[in-house]
A and B are shown apart, each in its own frame.
Chain A
Amino acid sequence: MNVIEEIKKAYELRTVSWKQKGKLLDTDCGLKRVVLWSDDNLLKWHVKWRDQTGRNSVAIADRMIRTATGHPWIEVNGKYVTLHDEVEGSYDRAGHEKAWGLLIGTMLKAGLEASQEFSTLCQEKTYSFGQCLSAVHQLGKQFTVLESVKQCLVEADKRLKQAEEVKKAAGECLLPIMDQPLSVLHGKQIFNILFYKGSHHEPIRGYLPLRHFLRDWLKECGPHSLKKLLHCINEHYSLQQEQGLLLLAELLMPWELVHCVEQLETKELAHIISTVEQFEQNWDFNRILLHCYSEWLDEKRRKVAL
């Protein structure tokens, strides 16, 4: 079957031609992106979170365009095909915390609601401090450059234990599932709308994608804007109770160490040096992020107490 003909028929488009074969279509309704899916459960998750994140005119996810009969996808040659808007201009970060807060807040809300329904889809990242420790000690014998990584081990262990304690304090509650990666670079702009381009990957359970997002935001926009963003997220998804503690636990987790150890497997000196530099930078930024987030949580608590 000819994909382009099927799309034209199902979406009742008047003119359709490839702008970039297999990826971008030029239609009478504007530029449309074509995405192919093989797993229908994964596709259903992506339809769900995007739909729930798109019911406003301020910040929306790139939802699946409906066919003439109202279906979010078509089946062609055993694959599922979805159609999306293609938007190019990037959306600003600092000064636009409200729109980003709405986007992330509604994404988290959708992720929490769908947490059980799509639990089998999720990737779980496990943390083994023991493995990190032995890898760093072994590599440290060969490369002196790993000294800064070694110095962080005590603090990493402490943070890991603190994270476990915070998780315990939060109790047994569900974690949201999230699209990954969650990146500021995926925010596009059209008619002043924040248009977020989602991935077609499996979701991840927990706040790791949000942690990366907040760290990037901090790097680019600074602590004041980060707090404003947290405040805006909190308007749509409460971070003041258990979920806020679970995010705190995620920020405490020394993931930088795992990432660094994974990268060190290549054993090429140039690569090792840049990995360590990246580690040092991320370690420092994560400290600031943790500090900003704890400060924001305290401010919120103080306001409630007053």
Chain B
Amino acid sequence: MSTSSEGINYGPVLFQYDLYPEKIEDHGQAKKVMSRRGTFALKETSMTEEEQEWFIHVIQRLSELGYHQVVPLYPTKHGDYVVRSGNYTYYLMPWFSAEPRYEYDKDELVIHEIGKIHQLTLKEQDFSQEVVDYSFQYLMQRWESRQLEMERFAEESERMTYMSPFALTYLSHFHQMMRLAEDAKRKLRDWYDICHSEQRYRSVLCHGQLSSQHLLFSHMGEPHLLNFERAVLDTPVRDLAYFFRKAVHQPTWTRETGSKLFELYQRHIELSEEERYLLVSYMSFPEPIFSSIEMYHNQRGQHSQIELVNRLEKRISAMRHIREFCDDILSLPLPAKPEDEFFEGEKEDHM
């Protein structure tokens, strides 16, 4: 829902664009600016100077690579792409609110677009033992400490004379969550072992916050991605794990939806064996359950028990979807190795 954005002075920012608004509507971090010169989206965010430079570089680099499905940034009258005002950074875009031109599912379009970006920016990195070791140890330690917190909360809950509905729900799924955590750690170990033996690692430009909310349609109904503020060079798995973790929450999600989206992505880039293990490990660790416990501890006064329980149950149910989806990912045939392709060709010749 949008409300009129009163009391906040955007004048100094909009002056940089020579925009004198007739009305400004608040849409969360985006402000809808209506002026004689058109309707625009003014994004309000927090970025350091370094982050600003990287953000602009990412948008420009994608354009140089021939990828134009990004919601464009408008420069100020002085040629800057962002404006700093107080503690915030602002940038201006066209206001996109059209309907899609094609009858595709929004998630499919997101996967298709990110597949294109990953394909354009894919780079085999020089294998670094140190980097892989560090990533493995960092994640392992983080997960172990999270697991410890979850165990502690389970013990605390068991000691209560009158258990809260939240604690009761949590305890009834605790062992299942621990199994997921152990499985995630095993898969991470598999990723690490294969990385070691294959001595390979590849990176792409990750969007950083990939979700269907960050896809809009231009006036022509063309899909455009936005919000590259957290873009980073990393394994393609980063975007996929973020995306699927959110996507499983949708009421329309089914096991088939997941497989279809994953296959759609694989048309652009086929994940290697170790990347699949990494994706499965990222997704299967019950991080959302851990955040629910944190929320229960820190914001108990702000939410009712019923809200907290609902939230936890939704996350537990999402974890179940993830579990099924992870099984499907691992059961799909692996991409052919170069030597396999060589023998395949030989066979055909003989035939």
Interface-central residue, A29, A51, A57, A72, by most chain B CB under 10 Å: A57
Residues of A within 8 A of B18 (CB): 29-30
- Check A192 for interface membership: any CB of B closer than 8 A: yes
Contact of B12 among A29, A70, A192 (CB under 8 A): A192
**A66–B306 Cα gap in the complex (Å)?**
56
B84 touches A55 (CB 8 A): yes
A65 touches B78 (CB 8 A): yes
Interface flags for A20-42 (1: CB within 8 Å of B; 0: not) read 00000000111000000000000
- Check A197 for interface membership: any CB of B closer than 8 A: no
Interface flags for B15-29 (1: CB within 8 Å of A; 0: not) read 110100000000000
Residues of B within 8 A of A128 (CB): none
**A29–B18 Cα gap in the complex (Å)?**
6
Task: Determine the residue in chain A with the shortest Cβ distance to B78.
Answer: A63
Q: How far is the CB of A218 from chain B (nearest CB, A)?
A: 29
- Check B165 for interface membership: any CB of A closer than 8 A: no
A191 touches B12 (CB 8 A): yes
CB proximity to A under 8 Å, residues B48-85? 75, 77-80, 83-85
Q: Give the A-B contact count at a CB cut-off of 8 A.
A: 40
**A54–B16 Cα gap in the complex (Å)?**
10
**A190–B11 Cα gap in the complex (Å)?**
9
Interface flags for A245-276 (1: CB within 8 Å of B; 0: not) read 00000000000000000000000000000000
- Check B9 for interface membership: any CB of A closer than 8 A: yes
B12 touches A193 (CB 8 A): yes
Q: How far is the CB of B46 from chain A (nearest CB, A)?
A: 15
**A54–B79 Cα gap in the complex (Å)?**
11
Interface flags for B172-196 (1: CB within 8 Å of A; 0: not) read 0000000000000000000000000
- Check A191/B84 contact, CB under 8 A, given A51-B78, A66-B79: no
B9 touches A191 (CB 8 A): yes
- Check B280 for interface membership: any CB of A closer than 8 A: no
- Check A192/B78 contact, CB under 8 A, given A30-B18, A55-B84: no
A66 touches B77 (CB 8 A): yes
**A58–B84 Cα gap in the complex (Å)?**
9
- Check A57/B75 contact, CB under 8 A, given A191-B15, A193-B12, A193-B15: no
- Check B13 for interface membership: any CB of A closer than 8 A: yes
- Check A64 for interface membership: any CB of B closer than 8 A: yes
- Check A56 for interface membership: any CB of B closer than 8 A: yes
Residues of A within 8 A of B15 (CB): 190-191, 193
Contact of A57 among B37, B79, B84 (CB under 8 A): B84
Residues of A within 8 A of B16 (CB): 57
- Check A192/B79 contact, CB under 8 A, given A57-B16, A57-B84, A57-B85: no
CB proximity to B under 8 Å, residues A51-98? 51, 54-58, 63-66, 70, 72, 85
Q: How far is the CB of A254 from chain B (nearest CB, A)?
A: 41
CB proximity to B under 8 Å, residues A216-230? none
Task: Determine the residue in chain A with the shortest Cβ distance to B88.
Answer: A57
A29 touches B78 (CB 8 A): no
Q: How far is the CB of A14 from chain B (nearest CB, A)?
A: 9
Residues of B within 8 A of A85 (CB): 77
Residues of A within 8 A of B85 (CB): 56-57
Known: A57-B84, A70-B79, A193-B12. 9 other contacts (CB 8 A): A28-B37, A30-B18, A55-B80, A55-B84, A57-B12, A57-B83, A57-B85, A66-B78, A192-B9
B residues with a Cβ closer than 8 A to A are: 9, 11-13, 15-16, 18, 37, 75, 77-80, 83-86
Interface pairs (7), CB distance under 8 Å: A28-B37, A55-B80, A63-B78, A64-B78, A66-B79, A70-B79, A192-B9
